[in-house]
Amino acid sequence: MAKNWTEEEEGYIRENFLTQTYGELAEHFGVTTKAMESKIRRMGLKKQEILAEKFGSPAPEPVVQYEEPVVPKDPSPAPIESIQKLQRRIEVYEETREERTARLKQTRKAAETEKARREESRAGAPIAQALKKFEAGVKKLLGGKHAAAAKDFQAVLDDPATDLGLVMRARQYLAATEVADTKEPKLTTAEDMYNHGVVLVNDGDIEDALKILGAAAKKAPKDDRIMYVRALALGIQGDEEAATEQLQAAIEANEVNRIYASNDPDFAPLHGNQRFQELTAPQREEDVD
């Protein structure tokens, strides 16, 4: 989605525009370099014009008067070469050592500030509390206390944290608690099959999980949840081509699956796959517009 820029962020861009590259500014705001360049163009910022205002325009070149060559009445056989083509001298501003040192120092400071902010965000109270509830639910589930575990997972979903990977895992484990008490579940609906497929994936029974998820897909071919878990199971099994096809279908059906997949640790077997990287990459600003 396109980023909504605040006045404070635009002020930061104007203040640091001359000392930071597009890539450094993009990393600071968590956007792509291309999106950063697009934003700077829309703000009407141009380095050459700003530098000219800051350091003054170069003195105009002196006008050189050239005399027309005198052609003798009896020209010699050798042709007279033209001297009218002159290269224009371009004044280029060169950064001094002191300015470069100051700019790099400011860049490092900005990077350290951003790193500290992100670490503080990850360790924030909402995420820490959600993680604590999730871990408690897993412990209860492994101990056979399915109803109590379901309450913990549901609590994570009722007040979702910014960690989308954690939210996705809580949703999967909640589905697992709904059918875990039944040794031989009666799988009649696509929802039942989906829930049981999640249980089998979490148990490591990928082959049976794919069978039941395939049957669920026939009953509900447009259910993006089924496509997502099938993609995950196929990736674990090692079938990268089929996994990325299923993931693409899941993303086309529901764009939020792109974000889930990029944060889901169960997709680790596909992290080196180029197609997976393309599918989970953040959308560019011009694609959103």
Torsion of CA 228, 233, 236, 242, to 10 degrees: -70
Structural domain spans, the chain: 7-56+98-122, 182-288
Tell me how far apart the alpha carbons of residues 70 and 174 are, in angstroms, rounded to a whole number: 96
Structure tokens that stand for 190 in this block: 């696509």
**Residue 238 Rama label (left phi>0; alpha psi -120 to 50; beta):** left
- Alpha helix positions (H), the chain: 7-16, 22-29, 33-42, 47-55, 97-122, 125-142, 146-158, 164-179, 190-203, 206-219, 224-237, 240-253, 256-263, 274-280, 285-288
From first to last of the 289 residues of the chain, give the pLDDT tens digit: 677 888 888 888 888 878 888 888 888 888 888 888 888 888 888 766 555 555 555 555 554 455 555 555 555 555 555 555 545 555 556 778 888 888 888 888 888 887 777 666 655 567 778 788 888 888 887 777 788 888 888 887 887 666 777 777 888 788 877 765 544 557 889 999 999 999 899 888 999 999 999 999 999 999 999 999 999 999 999 999 999 999 999 999 999 999 999 998 989 999 999 999 999 998 765 555 4
Question: pTM to 2 decimals?
Answer: 0.42
What is the fold of 182-288? 1.25.40
Q: Shortest CA distance to 16 belongs to which of 133, 129, 105, 147? A: 105
C-alpha 226: how far from chain center: 24
Angle formed by the axes of helices 206-219 and 190-203, to 10°?
160
